[in-house]
Each structure stands twice: as structure tokens, then as C-alpha cells.
Chains A and B, each alone.
Chain A
Amino acid sequence: MIELRGLKKVYASKEGEVVALEKVDLKIEDGAIYGVIGLSGAGKSTLVRCINLLEKPTAGQVIIDGEDLTKVKRRRLLEIRKNIGMIFQSFNLLEQRTVEANVRFPLEIAKVRKVVEKKCRRRGTDGKKETVSVRKEVRVRYSRGEMKRRTAELLELVGLSDKAKAYPSRLSGGQKQRVAIARALALNPKYLLCDEATSALDPNTTASILELLREINRRLGITIVVITHEMKVVESICSEVAVIDRSRIAESGKVADVFAFPQSEIAKELIIPGLIRSVKSSGGKKLRLVFNGEEADTPVISGPAPRCGISVNEEEEKVELVKRHLKELNIKCKEEI
């Protein structure tokens, strides 16, 4: 579990101190895909960098699996980081290395724990020399074979086995992000941080990368933290969401709840911006319909419609529109409306 307690980050700049984060409390349960959404400059990138201490928080605690990262020694921090993969908006691949070598990079810098049996001679209790085998835990570098196997496995996972020998400059954005994902997963991390991972990609590629992240979450059980400014990203993969505004968490909770009943101004603005802008005011009441799965079967419009004073005849055209829209979404729409 990732837990942020009273996190605060202040940058010193020429114009004085800039507060990037203030009083941030967050709990991210294992196995979740947790979204952090906010407008640019809200502090979300700083927030994610505080989780693996790429940015050192000014105050507060970052507790991962019971260990406070702000208190650990540097060597231990480097170990912990190996358990937290991270991907970026700009992919950040090593340009001078092949795809394969990029994925291998974390393996090259890490060490594995191995139990080896060592034979050693020593004087026994009866005074005679004897050979005993001693089990000892040692930390060794990955062997070439192990690296090769793991790299191939990872490239297979992200569907880029055929690009192993290519250089990043020959890849498309989506492919680069796949390589970055493979690289981030190389050391079997428990957590994966995504900093605007799909913001530089077109909608189709975004969808495929999100699908990959979902698969990773499901198949490998990796907890994913997604930082984004795009609603659709949160909508399509996240189970929980925190809305961040002007350095603070405005609200957080299950995606369905936050989406259905946004409390804070910023959440309302992020969740229903299109609606507010697109509906021309005709003086009447406006309804916003939110379906969250279970409620999709119940006829929502026919119930409240008369009470709201909407005459179905008059509104037929508009209702037709709603129906067509709902059909597109594969949601049943009762004929009697």
C-alpha cells in the first residue's frame, strides 16, 4: 500500500517560495488503478515524483508497505525504487540503446538475491576436519542468459518482440511507450507510476496503451498510479481517483462515486465541461444522466420526466437523441420513454 501523509512540497524560486503540494493525504490500496487528475500546474507531477522520492518532500511522509521513504538511507531507497516502475509522457528511452538494451537496463543495474550452497572445511566438534555445506544468501548481477530471457519475455508482453534490435528513433510514440512499460516492469515491481503516459499519444494509441496497463494490472497484479489531465483516461481504467487542484487534493474516492456526484468545483469542471458548454440554454431545466452499470437497466427518464414537467411529446426529438446516444453505448433504453 502506498500512503501519503501530510505531504508538502515547496520549491524555492527567484520570486520566492512556490508551493507545489500542500496537505496531501492519499491511500492507494494494493491492486488498484488509482487516478490522479488535475489541470496542468496543479501539482500532480510533483505528487507522483514524491512517491518514489525523485522529489524530496518538504514535509510529510511517504509510506510504502509500512516503510517511510523519507526516512530510509539512500542505499535502501535505491532498492525500494526498483520495486516501483515509472513511465513518462516523453517516454525517456535511452536513444543510443536498442529496444532490447533499453529493457535490459534495469536488469543491468540491479542485483538478485540468490541462495548458494558453499562447501567449506572446518574443524568439527571431535577435532577432525570435515566438509560442511553452508547456505548463504548472496547478491549477484543477473547473468547474460537471465537478462536475455527476461527481456524477451517482457517484449512479448508488450507485443514488440519483432522490434528487439531496433533503435528508439525508428519507433512510433505508442511503440516507445510500450518499450518504456516493458522496461519499467523488468524487475517485477509491485507498483507502476504513470506520469501523463498517454498525453503525447493519439486517441487510438492511447486506448491501446490503456488496455495494456489494464492487462498488466489484472494479470500481474501490479498497483498502478495514473497521473493525467484527461478525463477519459481515468474513466476507462481507474478504480479510484483523486482530483487535485491548486496543490491540494480537492476530493477522492471511487471513480463511480466521484463521477456521479462530484462535490468540488474542480471535479465538476473536469467531469462535465462539455455539457456545460454544449447545451444551449433554452430556459428550461437540464438533466445530466450518469450510468454506472447497475443503474443502467432502470428507466431513468420516464420516472422523473413528468415530475420535472417535461412533456414527452414536446421533448420527443430530444429524447430520440438521447435514445440513439444510449444505444451507441449499448445501454438498454426503454421504448416507452
Chain B
Amino acid sequence: MDALLVSKLFRQLGFWGFAKGTWETVYITILSTAIAYLLGLPLGILLVVTDKEGLHPVVWLNKIVGTVVNIFRSIPFIILIVALIPVSRAIVGTSIGNRAITFMLIVAAAPYIARMVESSLKEVDKGVVEAARSMGAGNLQIIWKVLLPEARPSLIVGAVISTVTVIGYSAMAGTIAGGGLGSIAVTKARTSNAQDVIWLCVALIVIIVQVIQEVGMYLARRLDKRIARSRNIKKTKKIKE
């Protein structure tokens, strides 16, 4: 009975096998998104600032950075992984394992995040930037005190979308370099045709995505002062009741 319902691989992996896969997916995703963000954020700021309508237009630099970002963004990730194998070996010393996956994810996610940041910062009202300029604020002050804080809710939403994308990428990277739920589902389960393992991996990934999505959106809403009004009205209503 038991053997019919539950595959051999499923039992072989056991609770700790899935727990390890989940943990690897989570930490690879968060680590690589975080590092990619550290690279993508300044790149995004650079794209906005050097834009021809930006704070400090430098058209040639904007073109170069924009083109590089576009090139990386247009390479399908699965091809990028293969192309990055020797690069990964040269830079992080290996082309397999979690370290290699993290490296590849950073390379793929940073340009993506740069564009996300760029679009968030461009949403900031031009009038507010103009007001800051009229007060004698320098460009760095405008970036730190106007652009980034004013774009905060949008930046958080962008970060959440990026993280979810990286989860998807991490599963793909798992097929080549091993590690995480992706590699369990694709390499181990597919070869032994363990449908239950595949579906459990899918379920776990869905749960991870849901958690990140919900937490992120809650933070974005919570930190957005523009809609403070409606929230406060709700609160006072509750108190009245």
C-alpha cells in the first residue's frame, strides 16, 4: 500500500531531505537577491541620474550602462548559466554547488534589479525633486533624502518581484549546479519519475513565494504614507465599533 502512494525517493529524502532543499532555496534566494540588490541599486540610481532628463545628465555613460544591462537582461537564464560556467570557476573557484548558483543568480538578477530600481525612482514626482533643488539640495542629498525615501514603497514592491524571480531562476540553476528544491525536483525526481516528490517541491516553492509576496506587500503598504489616510479611517472605525 505504502509503496504505491509514496515513491522510494520520497521516503529516501524524508522530512530532513525536503527541509534541507527548502532551506537551500530560501538562503540562496535571499543571499543572491541581497547581493544583487547591492549591485543593482547603485546601477539603477546611475541610470536615473545620468538620464538626459536626470539630475546630472551624462548621455554616453547612460547609454553604456543601459546597453550592458539590456544585454544581460536579454540572455535567457538557462543559456547564461552555461555561459557563466567558466566565469564562475574563475571567480568563485567552482562551477557547481550553492556558491556557483549564488554567483550566477547575482549576475542574472543585478541588471534586472537595476531596471526595477530605475523605474521606481522615475515614478517620483518631478515637482518634488524640483522643490528640493529650489531649496539648494545637492544631487547626493536629492538621491538620499528625496528619491530613495519617496520611492520606498515602489522599491519594496520591486524587491519582492525580484526575489520571486530569483526563486524561479534558482530552480533552473539547480538543474546545472545542484542545490535547493529545484535540483531535487528536476534532477533527482525526474530521473526516478517520482511524481509525488515533484509536486511536493512545487508546493513548497509556492509556499515560499507566497510568504515572500505577502510579507513584502505588507511592508510596502505599511511603509507607504500616502495611503495613511484610509488605514487610519479603518482603525478609527474599529475603535468605534
Q: Which residues of A contact B (CB under 8 A)?
A: 52, 54, 77-82, 84-86, 88, 90, 92-98, 105-106, 108-110, 167, 169-170, 180, 183-184, 187, 193
Contact = CB atoms under 8 A, between A and B. Distances in A.
Contacts of B136: 77-82, 106, 109-110
A169 B135 CA distance: 22
A167 B145 contact: no
Contact of B134 (A86, A96, A108): A86
A3 to B, nearest CB: 19
B141 A96 contact: no
A79 B226 CA distance: 31
B127 to A, nearest CB: 4
Contacts of A193: 134
Contacts of B138: 78, 109
Contacts of A90: 125, 127
B226 A96 contact: yes
* Majority-rule SS of A interface residues: mixed
A84 B134 contact: yes
A188 B138 CA distance: 19
Contacts of B228: 167, 169-170
A139 to B, nearest CB: 13
B225 A96 contact: yes
Contacts of A92: 125, 127-128, 130-131
B175 to A, nearest CB: 42
A88 B145 contact: no
B128 A106 contact: no
A96 B135 contact: no
B65 interface: no
A56 to B, nearest CB: 12
Contact of A94 (B141, B146, B224, B232): B146
A22 B236 CA distance: 56
Contact of A54 (B130, B146, B152): B130
Given A92-B130, A97-B149, A169-B229, 11 more contacts: A84-B134, A85-B135, A92-B127, A92-B128, A94-B149, A95-B150, A95-B225, A96-B149, A97-B225, A105-B135, A193-B134
A95 B226 contact: yes
Residue among A85, A167, A180 having the largest count of chain B Cβ atoms under 10 Å: A167
A88 B225 contact: no
Interface string B123-166: 00101101111111110010001100110110000000000000
A170 to B, nearest CB: 5
Contacts of A54: 130, 133-134
A166 to B, nearest CB: 8
A136 B127 CA distance: 39
Nearest to B152: A96
B227 interface: yes
17 contacts: A54-B134, A78-B136, A81-B135, A84-B134, A92-B128, A92-B130, A94-B128, A94-B146, A95-B225, A96-B153, A105-B135, A109-B138, A110-B136, A167-B229, A169-B226, A170-B228, A170-B229
Contacts of B224: 96
A16 B224 CA distance: 42
B236 to A, nearest CB: 12
A208 B65 CA distance: 50
A93 B226 CA distance: 11
Contacts of A52: 134
